Amino acid sequence: MKNTKRVFALVGVLLLLCIPVLLVIGAFTASRDSAALFKASIFCAIVVPIMVYAYMLIYRLIKKNNKEQIDSKQINKKDDQGGIDNQ
C-alpha distances out from residue 64 to 1, 12, 52, 55, 68, Å = 17, 24, 18, 14, 6
- Give the pLDDT band (50/70/90) at residue 75: low
CA separation for the pair 16, 52 (Å, rounded): 11
Predicted structure pTM score: 0.54
Which of residues 30 and 85 earns the better pLDDT score? Answer: 30
The closest of 40, 8, 5 to 26, measured between CA atoms, is 40
- Do residues 45 and 21 make contact, with C-beta atoms less than 8 angstroms apart? no
CA separation for the pair 51, 20 (Å, rounded): 18
pLDDT tens-place string over residues 6-55: 888 888 888 878 877 877 777 777 778 777 877 887 888 888 889 888 98
